[in-house]
Amino acid sequence: MPRRRFVPTQMGSSQISSIGISVSPPTNLVIGTSQQFTATVVNTSDTSVVWKVNGIVGGNATIGTITAGGVYTAPAVVPNPATVTITATSNADNTKVAGTTVTIITSSGAPVVISISPPITVALQSTQQFNATVLNTGNLNVTWQVNGITGGNATIGTISVSGLYTAPAAVPSPSSVTITAISQADPSKSAGSTVTIVTADVQIFTANGTWTKPAGAKSVQVQLISSGGGGAGAGVNNGGGGGASGDYSYDFFSAAALPSSVAVAVGVGGSGGARGVNGSIGTDTSFGLLTSFALIASAGGGGLTSGAGGAPSGAGVFTGARGGDGGAAGGGAGNTGNRGNPFTGGAGGGGAGSNGTNQFVGGGGGNSSPATGSIGGGGTGAAGGGAGGVGTSVLNIARGGGGGGGGGSITNGAGGAGGAAGTYGSGGGGGGADGAGVNGGAGANGAPGIAIVTTYF
């Protein structure tokens, strides 16, 4: 590997009257590779030095490490900022320091690349989550703008630092605005997407019903969240598994391709199991079932009394999350339900196991995703699990957090019941076990589904 040498300046003294060090020019180094640095110290018998990265002796995994012998290893990911400083400090006189800079680059040295969600139509005062993908840098942060204005405004719509766009109350002129994500690692790199603001008719279904096509409709957006699975009741000394969350599906249709009315079925959450009984799978949410344009979001699976968390169906556009496993029969905390995928609810947490002596904690319910749903609290000791929270509305749908698992109890105490699922699509928590294996807690029901049909004119 190439070598860089610190070249001293002789000051003409047998004492350490001065140690001058001239440093090699700055260099670039590919992530994960190494570079040997060498310091030459004169005017003293102690020629050793202390190596630092950004003032930290030996560096660290974020900015790179350097050995006592001066071998610097770049980090696995480009840091922010990408340039670090390597210094050598004389052990004979710690006021004598010299340094150079190293810029960490990707293996290809490729420039920053950024992309965001495709163009979309958004109704007045509704929201749309945008996501930016940033490559070739360790700094993935972006600055969001609407029509070149950071954060937007009330006339053209606003956008949060996390990319959540909220349409204005009135259609702007022109009706299309541009959402831009600017790389903070390299502000010269950006990506944009167009949003067209339109008036809309929004029909929300929380139970089975019929969608009626409004007059003058041009396009129709259908969004479905299916129901969550029920949490299992406790087994013999082991906690019950949490229910899985339901899938999310969406599609756009030309209004002309749809009939004047379409049947909508909304999924019912799976039932929680009593002690020794599995949680049941929920039912599907659908738009136009058994038609050529049918759209379906499949329900989440129920937790198992063996302790296994319920499994998502995986049939939707976005798959729901798996339920948390129950604690083992030998005693142990229940596992936290998994966080939902984009636009799905969180899964239920597993109930705690019991060993007849200690009181274990049930697993917390999973958040919805993005991280806007409140997590369900696990039960402590024999306490029941906490209910899952309600997720923040994204695309007009509030996805709930999963219910927490019930706590495990000692021999004479009852195991805690699983926590209730949050609003729409999340899984119920599993029941906590008791030491005697006869008084375990029940699992909680999964949350129902929801259907949103938005018509644009």
Contacts 24+ apart (CB under 8 A), 50-59: 50/88, 50/89, 50/91, 50/94, 51/86, 51/87, 51/88, 52/86, 52/87, 52/88, 52/89, 53/84, 53/85, 53/86, 54/84, 54/85, 55/85, 55/87, 59/84
Residue 103's pLDDT band, with cuts at 50, 70 and 90, is: confident
Residue 1's pLDDT band, with cuts at 50, 70 and 90, is: very low
Distances (CA, A) of 68 to 189, 302, 430: 39, 56, 53
* pLDDT tens-digit map of 238-286: 888 888 888 888 888 999 999 999 999 999 999 999 988 999 999 999 9
Residue 257 in 3-state DSSP?
helix
pLDDT given for residue 46 in this prediction:
84
Residue 58 has phi, psi (to 5 degrees) of: 80, -10
pLDDT over threshold 70, residue 226? yes
Segment 80-104 mean pLDDT: 86
Segment 72-79 mean pLDDT: 84
Q: Is 85 left (phi over 0), alpha (psi -120 to 50) or beta?
A: beta
* pLDDT tens-digit map of 441-455: 888 898 899 999 989
pLDDT given for residue 391 in this prediction:
55
- Asked if residue 52 lies in contact with residue 87, where contact means CB atoms within 8 angstroms, the answer is yes
Residue 369's pLDDT band, with cuts at 50, 70 and 90, is: low
Residue 24 in 3-state DSSP?
coil
Segment 381-392 mean pLDDT: 62
DSSP 53-102: ETTEETEETTTEEE-TT-EEE--SS--SSSEEEEEEEESS-TT-EEEEEE
Q: What is the mean pLDDT of the chain?
A: 80
pLDDT given for residue 257 in this prediction:
92
Domains of the chain (ranges; CATH) run: 3-105 (2.60.40.1080), 113-198 (2.60.40.10), 199-457 (no CATH)
Residues in contact with 334: Cβ distance below 8 Å, sequence separation at least 6, in sequence order: 239, 242, 324, 325, 326, 327, 349, 350, 351, 352, 353, 360, 361, 362, 363, 378, 405, 406, 430, 432
Distances (CA, A) of 135 to 216, 286, 423: 43, 37, 35
Listed ranges 21-35, 108-122, 202-216, 429-443; the one with the highest mean pLDDT = 202-216
Task: Say how many CA atoms lie within 13 Å of 266 toward its Cβ.
Answer: 18
Residue 200's pLDDT band, with cuts at 50, 70 and 90, is: confident
- The answer to whether the peptide bond before residue 312 is cis (omega within 30 degrees of 0) is no
pLDDT given for residue 14 in this prediction:
36
Residue 101's pLDDT band, with cuts at 50, 70 and 90, is: confident
In whole angstroms, what is the distance from residue 8 CA to residue 17 CA? Answer: 13
Listed ranges 19-28, 222-231, 356-365; the one with the highest mean pLDDT = 222-231
Percentage of the chain beyond pLDDT 90 is 23
